[in-house]
Structure 1
Amino acid sequence: MKACLVLTIVLTAVRGAVLEKDAVGVDIQLYPTNGQLDVNPDVQLKLTFLSPPTIGSTGKINVYDSEDKNLVDTLDLSVPFSPSPYGNGSTKANYTDTTKYQTNIIGGLDFYFYPIIVRNNTATIYLHNNKLTYGRKYLVEIQPGVLEPARGSFSGFTLDQPWRFSTKSHGPKAGATSVVVAADGSGDFNTVQGAIDWAPGNPTKRTTIYIKNGNYEELVFWQYKSNITIRGQNREKTIVGYPNNSAFNPPNRQGPSRRPAFSFRGVADLQLSSFTINNYYPGQAEALLVDGVRIILDHMTLNGAGDALTTYGTLYVTDSKLTGTGDTVLGYGSAYWLRSRIESIGAVTWTRTVQGIHGNIFVDSTIVGLQGNSTLARLPDNSGGVMDNWPYAEMVIINTKTDGIAPEGWGPVQGPPFDSSHVRFWEYNTTDLRGQPIEISQRLNVSRQLTVPKDKEVIAEYKNPTNILGGWHPVVLEGYG
């Protein structure tokens, strides 16, 4: 089997870069360059050919410690990537499947992953996380069959003629509260995950991870780390993403979801600012899954598919944009949205609020149905009528502009025996994109229009994020912090 992922990502070779040669003299650009010093241990190995390569189905990539020749890491290309290597198979776990798949431990959780991804002429090799360490020299062996250029042949590297590099003598200084991620290796880390793995679990001072402009194609996941800011250099030019979904990474028997491109659980006091998160696969494929308390998304762009953003805990979203393909917000938590925009094919949210908390609250925001017939929230029969579904589901929109929303606005909502009397699908001063009032005569009867002066106090309550987020008053940190 050969696999070559084709995505609309442009990664070009650096002009004027030094060309190396493989074991039989084929020109190739390597990163790190052969013999390079002071390489970050989380480096991704890159080979840029004169023509696009394809990924083979045989051969191994081996990394050895130069001093003792011990094998540090190995990638076997005969091992399949996933039960659904193109993300288009079953989304259900097959617990009788005993096949060995390519697996990487990320943030303590096992994920199926691509050991190589090809973009244009560049093949990026993803070693298993945390295999390389500081202050060591490494030899890379790439066996024939691992990569096959469109023109010519690639015989790889041997232990007699290896690809060599050395890592930095040490990482960030003890007590450091900020680090830089740079894809070109000029920072403290090459990858976002490398910086997160370094970050202390519960620091007394806030930790800031600054991501330089670049395209970071990696799965990101961590658990039980708090008091962190992750800030991009430029919202449009700092891009973190991965092709992942519930077919490529089906559910485990226990543990968190593995289908998001970027996710975390059990965290507190986290701020994500000024970068883009993409999930490049269709289906159930979150760009971001949030599981924590006092989480801030500030000037973020999230592009996913179904369930593009899943929320647990408490979340404050400001000046951000989310795009998805239905149930675009799968909301279990309390989320306050300010001056933000959602674009959705199909239902904008499936709000699964439990009793005693608030759900999705939108203030001064914009909601767009991309195909002209979206609804704001739905509550379908999710249980065959044998349970209560989500009887306290809540979504409230205040002073929000809309476009492409069906005349009924809300739904579908499960009928009897489901009791919808506690559902809060409310809106106040909903307008079109020009600020003109919309027609509400066909609104679903489960929903409610708030009015003044009758609902003045209710509207004021919902406009205050502290009321929505369990008493937390969110403060967005500006600049480098």
Structure 2
Amino acid sequence: MSEHRSRARHRRPATLLAAGLPLALAGAGVTMYGTDFVSPRATAATAAAAPAWATATADGFASVDALGQNGTYGGRDGRTVTVRTQADLERYATAAEPYVIVVAGTITMNPVGKEIKVASDKTIVGSGTSGHIVGGGFFLGPGVHNVIIRNLTIRDAYQGIWNDKEHDFDAIQMDGAHHVWIDHNDLRNMADGLIDVRKDSTYVTVSWNRLSQNNKTFGIGWTENVTTDITIHHNWIRETEQRNPSTDNAAHAHLYNNFLEDVANTGITSSYGNYARGGTRMVLENSSFQGIRNPVIKDATATIVQRGNVFSGTSGRNESGGTAFDPKAYYPYTLDKAADVPSLLKSGTGPRATIGTTATAASTKAAAATTLTVAKDGTGQYRTVQAAVNAIPANNPSRVVVSIKPGTYRETVKVPSDKPHVTFQGTGGSRKDTVIVYDNAAGTRKPDGSGTYGTSGSATVAVEADDFQARNLTISNDFDERANQSLSGHQAVALRTAADRILLDGVIVEGDQDTLLLDTAAKDKLGRVRVTGSYIVGNVDFVFGRATAVIDRSVITLKKRWDGTSAGYVTAPSTAANRKGFLIADSTVNGAVSDRSFYLGRPWHAGGDASLDPQTTVRNTTLSAAIRTTPWTDMSGFSWKDDRFAEYRNTGPGSGPASSNRPHLTDTQAADQEITDWLSGWTPTAS
């Protein structure tokens, strides 16, 4: 195979934006990684008129000027349209003119396996986390260029045959395309490949995606020509068997800060990880490999240069050799530490709530938002968070951001029901820098002598207003159980929500017993909550209440009790009949506690109300050995088997096979228990 020609034309001026953005954001402790790059070519008028995601441009090899194309910016120069049907998606994706196409909702392909033929100059982006393509995907043919596919979930074309030779149903396939950016998608459970970069496709960047539950993950090549230039960074590849990726005859393959994970004792076992074949020249940097068989392999004719990678529980071949190339000769980039990659990618990959909201809504919210600053040292408008909340007028019609400077605010805070559209935003470099904390418990007596606070009244922060958001801060209850053994009522809530459309993004909620109360304004009221990219810490019933709540891409940390013992319950739902309860998805449950000491949940029939139908579903989540082999249990005379408790495709040492004491959802049942089903028409967007 011939050596690749010199490509000095790849060189790009050092003015490219976002060179160090992932590292900077990781340092800030937020979860919106790698998003919202603004094209340097966009005019001031364009930037003012559209949200950043609509004018976003690629990094990596997709940013390089070549083949008559100046980087990758998709449909930025065209109209923004919103689609909800296959017909509309196909109409705009195949059009000759540029479009930014927002997918708002689930589109089920007909026939199954349909791949829409995308034309040049398109951005196809999911609206928040609601954009799903089911049973099909996209095809980019010869010469197609300047395409962005972003923030979508593409799933479930699988036909029941593992190594399927008959159904070429890919999520994204390109044959001879160039300048393509695939970013922040969730790709899974397809009949063939998740991504196929074939037949001399080049100038491709694949970033911040979740690739999972598949046989063939990501294939590159299928040609004798040594042509493809590709950047693959910050992708979480888990529970996949092969092509992770397989890179055949790639002139320049730059892989960095990826996380390859194979969890033991699951139905899918990796056969190999990163594979360099033929004439491929690969640079592999600061990636993390956990449990992968043959994590890095190469042909005799391929070259791999490895730097700074971390291997844990891997086995078999781990190879490198030869010389490759210097990626910084083609584009700037910044590496994250390999040790940080698993946690960074678990919270930062896949669709984001902040991408894909309509330009009109985004600009309206931005224009209407009011900011109030809080600082303990007097450098803000208010010294306490409650003082800022008090200053918000009743029935405020638009978003008010309470911007809270770093510090520990020892106070209780209440957002009353007549103050909607409030955001608490920590401004520190980490969510740990801004802390709202107090130590009331259910049995703590009120200062006025009128009795005790009770469980719900013990909350450090109580939110009773709709459309509340919190980001980049910690809410804590540090009630000292050891020092208050004589007190009756040790329940101590950190955060109580009793409203609808609550978004907690990139926060820490910590306590011991009854940490997070997800409630509703009344039994007959809907209360939808989404907790994403966050940490929840506790020991007894520490996620509880009657809300319809999603916890995704988060870490649930189990904590020992005051006396050092390990025993507890993660959830205690009190869901009303015919309503959805708690959904824990794509998360991790762990903690420094004894093995087999914690239940995933038990049914809370508050007040002995037999009409309730508590529900917890835990799916696609890594469970540590702390979880009991029979993970559900009874409560106050009510059997969990009479209510709704189930798992689906969990992994880790705390997972286990289906049984009468451990019900699993079928694939059909699981299809009706997605995040979008839970949120019931609400698409959370940060504002």
Q: Aligned letter for 1:230?
A: F
Partner deviation per Cα, 1:169-195 (whole Å, 9 max, x = no partner)? xxxxxx981111011000011110010
Q: How does 1:390-429 map to 2 (within 5 A)?
A: 391-403=612-624, 404-412=626-634, 423-429=643-649
Q: Name the CA distance, whole Å, in 2 between partners of 1:381 and 1:176.
A: 40
Partner of 2:250: none
Partner of 1:297: 504
Q: Name the CA distance, whole Å, in 1 between partners of 2:540 and 2:373.
A: 35
Partner deviation per Cα, 1:272-319 (whole Å, 9 max, x = no partner)? 111001111042001101110000001010111211011112101100
TM-score relative to the length of structure 2: 0.39
Q: Which segments of 5 or more consecutive residues in structure 2 lack a partner in the other structure?
A: 1-367, 482-489, 520-526, 560-567
CA shift for structure 1 position 249: 4.1
CA shift for structure 1 position 343: 1.9
CA contact 1:424–1:447 (8 Å) conserved in 2: no
1:459 pairs with one of 645, 653, 670: 670
Q: Name the CA distance, whole Å, in 1 between partners of 2:656 and 2:424.
A: 42
CA contact 2:435–2:475 (8 Å) conserved in 1: yes
Partner of 2:602: 378
2:576 pairs with one of 354, 359, 380: 354
What secondary structure sits across from 2:672 in the alignment? Answer: helix
Partner of 1:430: 650
1:208 pairs with one of 398, 401, 411: 401
Q: Name the CA distance, whole Å, in 1 between partners of 2:605 and 2:661.
A: 15
**Pair 263,382 (structure 1): closer, same or farther in 2 beyond 3 Å:** closer
What secondary structure sits across from 1:327 in the alignment? Answer: strand
TM-score relative to the length of structure 1: 0.55
Between stretches 208-217 and 242-251, larger displacement belongs to 242-251
What secondary structure sits across from 1:278 in the alignment? Answer: strand
What secondary structure sits across from 1:240 in the alignment? Answer: strand
Q: Name the CA distance, whole Å, in 1 between partners of 2:478 and 2:636.
A: 32
CA contact 2:582–2:616 (8 Å) conserved in 1: yes
Q: Name the CA distance, whole Å, in 1 between partners of 2:454 and 2:443.
A: 17
**Pair 406,177 (structure 1): closer, same or farther in 2 beyond 3 Å:** same
Partner of 2:457: 258
**Pair 255,411 (structure 1): closer, same or farther in 2 beyond 3 Å:** closer
Q: Name the CA distance, whole Å, in 2 between partners of 1:409 and 1:390.
A: 23
CA shift for structure 1 position 236: 1.1
Q: Aligned letter for 2:632?
A: W
- The percentage of counterpart residues that share the same residue type is 30
Q: How does 1:315-354 map to 2 (within 5 A)?
A: 315-345=529-559, 346-354=568-576
CA contact 1:305–1:325 (8 Å) conserved in 2: yes
Q: Aligned letter for 2:460?
A: A
Q: Name the CA distance, whole Å, in 1 between partners of 2:599 and 2:421.
A: 36
Partner deviation per Cα, 1:196-249 (whole Å, 9 max, x = no partner)? 111122222211110011111111113111011110013111111011111214
Partner of 1:12: none
Partner of 1:439: 656
Q: Name the CA distance, whole Å, in 1 between partners of 2:445 and 2:661.
A: 37
CA contact 1:429–1:437 (8 Å) conserved in 2: no
Q: Name the CA distance, whole Å, in 1 between partners of 2:580 and 2:621.
A: 18
CA contact 1:353–1:390 (8 Å) conserved in 2: no
CA contact 1:360–1:396 (8 Å) conserved in 2: yes
2:663 maps to 1:448: yes
Superposition RMSD in Å: 2.7
What secondary structure sits across from 1:195 in the alignment? Answer: helix
Q: How does 1:34-53 map to 2 (within 5 A)?
A: none
Q: Name the CA distance, whole Å, in 2 between partners of 1:410 and 1:200.
A: 45
Q: Name the CA distance, whole Å, in 1 between partners of 2:514 and 2:453.
A: 20
Partner of 1:228: 422
CA contact 2:432–2:474 (8 Å) conserved in 1: yes
CA shift for structure 1 position 422: 5.2
Q: Name the CA distance, whole Å, in 2 between partners of 1:261 and 1:209.
A: 17
What secondary structure sits across from 2:420 in the alignment? Answer: coil
Partner deviation per Cα, 1:122-165 (whole Å, 9 max, x = no partner)? xxxxxxxxxxxxxxxxxxxxxxxxxxxxxxxxxxxxxxxxxxxx
1:191 pairs with one of 378, 384, 406: 384
CA contact 1:407–1:440 (8 Å) conserved in 2: no
More helix, by proportion: 2
Q: Name the CA distance, whole Å, in 2 between partners of 1:327 and 1:335.
A: 15
**Pair 185,334 (structure 1): closer, same or farther in 2 beyond 3 Å:** same
Q: Name the CA distance, whole Å, in 1 between partners of 2:656 and 2:613.
A: 26
CA shift for structure 1 position 448: 1.4
2:372 maps to 1:179: yes
CA contact 1:331–1:360 (8 Å) conserved in 2: no
CA contact 1:426–1:449 (8 Å) conserved in 2: yes
What secondary structure sits across from 1:197 in the alignment? Answer: helix
Q: Name the CA distance, whole Å, in 1 between partners of 2:391 and 2:639.
A: 48
What secondary structure sits across from 1:236 in the alignment? Answer: coil
Partner of 2:256: none
CA contact 1:388–1:419 (8 Å) conserved in 2: no
CA contact 1:228–1:269 (8 Å) conserved in 2: yes
**Pair 393,420 (structure 1): closer, same or farther in 2 beyond 3 Å:** same
Q: Aligned letter for 2:657?
A: I
Q: Name the CA distance, whole Å, in 1 between partners of 2:645 and 2:628.
A: 15
CA shift for structure 1 position 324: 1.1
Q: Name the CA distance, whole Å, in 1 between partners of 2:606 and 2:387.
A: 39
CA shift for structure 1 position 371: 3.5
CA shift for structure 1 position 389: 4.0
Partner of 1:123: none
Partner of 2:679: 469
Q: Aligned letter for 2:569?
A: A
CA shift for structure 1 position 437: 8.2
CA shift for structure 1 position 264: 2.3
Partner deviation per Cα, 1:401-440 (whole Å, 9 max, x = no partner)? 111101111113566xx576652211111111xxx78333
**Pair 212,406 (structure 1): closer, same or farther in 2 beyond 3 Å:** same
**Pair 176,339 (structure 1): closer, same or farther in 2 beyond 3 Å:** closer
Q: Aligned letter for 1:277?
A: I
Aligned length: 287
Q: Name the CA distance, whole Å, in 2 between partners of 1:239 and 1:462.
A: 34
Q: Name the CA distance, whole Å, in 2 between partners of 1:428 and 1:377.
A: 15
2:480 maps to 1:276: no
